[in-house]
Amino acid sequence: MKGRTIILDHIQGREAAALMVDGKLDDFLIAADAPAPGTIYRARAERAIKGQGGMFLTTPDGPAFLRQVKGLAQGEMLLVQVTGYAEPGKALPVTNRILFKSRYAIVTPDAPGLNISRSIRDDDERDRLLVIAHEQMDGSPFGLILRSGCWGADADEIAEDIAAMRALAEQVVNDTGDAPETLSEGDGPHVLAWREWVEPAEVSTQAGGFADHGVLEALDAARGASHPLAGGAHMYIEPTRALVAVDVNTGSDGSLAAGTKANFACAKELPRALRVRGLGGQITLDLAPMPKKDRRGFESALRAAFRADSEETILAGWTPLGHFELQRKRGRIPLSEVLR
């Protein structure tokens, strides 16, 4: 089955969205019990953490932690936005750099100026989009980023999107409340799919779509540790409390050539495997044996694969024992926490 299909459905009573590409599950979003990333609070500063440059805050959904903040007094009210899902037993991760993001536009209250995605290179298209941006942001001190999905999109739709985000930003930023409160909910899976999966695709909204399009079978496979690679190799992805361990196994062929091939296949498949499983945090790769001269090529392949990924991932590098480490934003909820 070739092409792209977006399926909007529910599973175990939770709203969810799946992206199938050429018959494979490429991305999966599911509602969680925890506050969704993008949620905006009016929060109260409670306790500074010396040595870490951060502060614990009180929100309507429990404690939050704000990193790298200075000059914030205990009891002071401030606006913060959830950036990801908390590790078990830890506070919500938040930022005070608020973004208002939709399909075509990102309004940036703390970063004035009008900007267009660098992926839009056509001068005529950039000029068209700048006219729309200037019209919709006239008189506003806020900044605006027009996203890659604007390319060729209807001018009225882009204008409506900008206007909606500007209005929401003005409402939230001008809030004058004096107690912790939720000011804007983060987007659910169906809205996120519309917002982020902008490449052309068929869209299915029929009940039972996950079963019809093979999503349920793909999720069953993703809940297991084994992920097949080209050439009969596998990688085994196993979350622990401290990190996500990824072991690359070549099977019966223990040659260096087989190890190199399996490691490069891992580099290509790893972003999709982590997206579908909803995994983030510290990730350690226990790769198959390969010549040291191929390490640079492996890093390049890994960097290229994650460049197109939706979650921010830092390639930390090699350990003395020959493992490769990554740090990935916890922007998804792990499948194991929501599906039983």
Does residue 64 register a pLDDT over 80? yes
Is residue 334 very low, low, confident or very high in pLDDT (cuts 50, 70, 90)? very high
End-to-end CA distance of the chain: 28
Burial 306-336 (b: 16+ CB within 10 A, else e): beeeebebeeeeeeeeeebebebbbbbbbbe
Is residue 1 very low, low, confident or very high in pLDDT (cuts 50, 70, 90)? low
Q: Tell me, what's the pLDDT at 9?
A: 98
Q: What is the mean pLDDT of the chain?
A: 95
CA distance 118 to 126: 10
Q: Tell me, what's the pLDDT at 49?
A: 83
Does residue 52 register a pLDDT over 80? no
Lowest mean pLDDT among 2-16, 64-78, 167-181, 232-246: 64-78
Q: Tell me, what's the pLDDT at 231?
A: 82
Q: Tell me, what's the pLDDT at 70?
A: 80
SS (H, E, C) 138-166: CCCCCEEEECHHHCCCCHHHHHHHHHHHH
Q: Tell me, what's the pLDDT at 289?
A: 95
Q: Tell me, what's the pLDDT at 2?
A: 75
| C-alpha closest to that of 298 among 333, 248, 332 | 248
pLDDT digits (tens, 9 = 90+) for 112-144: 999 999 999 999 999 999 999 999 999 999 999
Is residue 72 very low, low, confident or very high in pLDDT (cuts 50, 70, 90)? confident
Residue whose token pair is 């260096």: 256
CA distance 272 to 192: 17
pLDDT digits (tens, 9 = 90+) for 173-183: 999 899 999 99
pLDDT digits (tens, 9 = 90+) for 289-307: 999 999 999 999 999 999 9
Q: Tell me, what's the pLDDT at 88?
A: 82
Does residue 266 register a pLDDT over 70? yes
Is residue 50 very low, low, confident or very high in pLDDT (cuts 50, 70, 90)? confident
Residue 142: CB atoms within 10 Å: 18
Instruction: Tell me the average pLDDT across 21-40.
Output: 96
